[in-house]
Amino acid sequence: MSGPLDGITVVDLSRALAGPHASMLLGDMGARVIKVESAGGDDTRGWGPPFVGPEDDPVSTYYLACNRNKESIVLDLKSDDGRDVLTRLARRCDVLVENFRPGVMDRLGFGVERLHELNPALVVLSVSGFGHDGPEGGRAGYDQIAQGEAGLMSVTGPDPDQPQRIGVPIADLLAGLHGAYGVAAALRERELTGRGRVVRTSLLAAVVGVHAFQGTAYTVAGQVGRAQGNHHPALAPYGLFHASDGPVQVAVGSQGLWVRFAEAFGIDPADPLLATNASRVAHREHLVEVIDAAFAAWRAEDLLARLAELGIPAGKVRTIDEVYDWDQTRSQGLVVSVDHPVLGPVELPGPPIRFDDNAFGGGREVHLPPPALDEHGASVRAWLDDLDARG
């Protein structure tokens, strides 16, 4: 169970996606993650279809996506026993992750002050929907609502009148990613100070944090971004075009590339409407028509080969199955094999980080399957008993 976070223990009180994604990333890096669930289990255990496995014990593929490299223990945090076990976990663990609505941890008797009384070195990651304070800090957070409220849907879709959600729960996933790197920073700080810190993020913060040029276009230039389909608002040509038998994507990111690209496909690079990036952006519809007309004589496979010869960044639009069957995906450790307690050997999407001494994704050479409900309840309690016995 090697990895840069080997020796770090995480107690994960979160459910659904943002918090579990954060704790899974920590587990990928070698941390031991103890997932605390209610008797009914994490909400995502019931999210589907698709479900797989036996009809009397179906497994949600959604749950499998965000709970690798964890153990599971069931606790009723409103009971004396549940509170006692969580108290012992807080004393012994390095990190606690929660994504309850603001105020819930206090009502359960495990607010920040209490947690740091139990363990001054504990790093607490708290993920919310819209922040832990402010005029709307108590709002519940759901990914699609956050995508809309945080502006992402307004710049996604075919045009401004048809806002679109991203095809994955990106607000949740980004909040988990930001939370995990915040924890890593807090653990580093703890090495210097001996004290844990509270790390806070939210779905709102996660999306606003990736506005990038769309944000500065407004804050600096006063320009409000709008959805423009599959074409970049500030670069052209940069987007999806059409060969005779399907779409291809092309990214012409410099003037030198533009000249090379245009000359190769019979387009006048000095055309006043197309000569500069600014003019191409201003006349994007015309540009797209010109390029689609030039590409109409090409099959997608041949076109991509020609673009590669020219050194023009380009690619196909793959379906999900094509991505996971792609040898490049597998060469990067982005598919991992685990032995699930119900399903047996299965493949899961793998961690997005590799280290130079590890051909596998994440920091581990062996990944743990997402646990069955309370699969590790007895072993976690035994571990705590052993620690208590040793003082």
Predicted pLDDT of residue 315: 97
Same domain, 248 and 360: no
Match 């059409």 to its residue by tokens: 242
In the set 28, 172, 245, 327, the catalytic residue is: 172
Same domain, 285 and 333: no
Predicted pLDDT of residue 356: 78
pLDDT band of residue 256 (cuts 50, 70, 90) is very high
Instruction: Indicate the average pLDDT of the chain.
Output: 95
pLDDT band of residue 363 (cuts 50, 70, 90) is confident
Domain that holds residue 56: 9-210+327-390
Same domain, 116 and 184: yes
Question: Does the active-site annotation cover 143?
Answer: no
pLDDT digits (tens, 9 = 90+) for 302-328: 999 999 999 999 999 999 999 999 999
CATH of the domain at 271: 3.30.1540.10
Same domain, 258 and 201: no
From 263, 296, 318, give the residue that closes a domain: 318
Number of separate domains in the chain:
2
Burial class (CB in 10 A: 0-12, 13-18, 19+), 59: buried
pLDDT digits (tens, 9 = 90+) for 185-205: 999 999 999 999 999 999 999
Rounded to the nearest angstrom, the gap between the alpha carbon of residue 217 and the centroid of all alpha carbons in its chain is 25
Give domain status of residue 372, yes or no.
yes
From 262, 284, 318, give the residue that closes a domain: 318
pLDDT band of residue 57 (cuts 50, 70, 90) is confident
Contacts of range 375-383, beta carbons closer than 8 Å, 24 or more positions apart: 375/71, 375/72, 375/341, 376/34, 376/71, 376/72, 376/73, 377/72, 377/73, 377/74, 379/71, 380/34, 380/71, 380/73, 380/89, 381/73, 381/85
Same domain, 302 and 342: no
Nearest-angstrom CA–CA distance, 271 and 265? 14
Same domain, 200 and 346: yes
**237 preceded by cis ω (within 30°)?**
yes
Give domain status of residue 64, yes or no.
yes
The answer, yes or no, to whether residue 357 has pLDDT greater than 70, is: no
pLDDT digits (tens, 9 = 90+) for 205-222: 999 999 999 999 999 999
From 264, 292, 318, give the residue that closes a domain: 318
Measure the CA angle with vertex 126, ends 40 and 19; round to 5°.
Answer: 45
pLDDT band of residue 365 (cuts 50, 70, 90) is confident
Same domain, 176 and 46: yes
Same domain, 373 and 270: no
Q: Taking each helix axis as running N to C, give the angle between helix 80-92 and helix 377-390, from 0 to 180 degrees, rounded to the nearest 10.
A: 60
Give domain status of residue 19, yes or no.
yes
Give domain status of residue 220, yes or no.
no
pTM: 0.93
CATH of the domain at 108: 3.40.50.10540
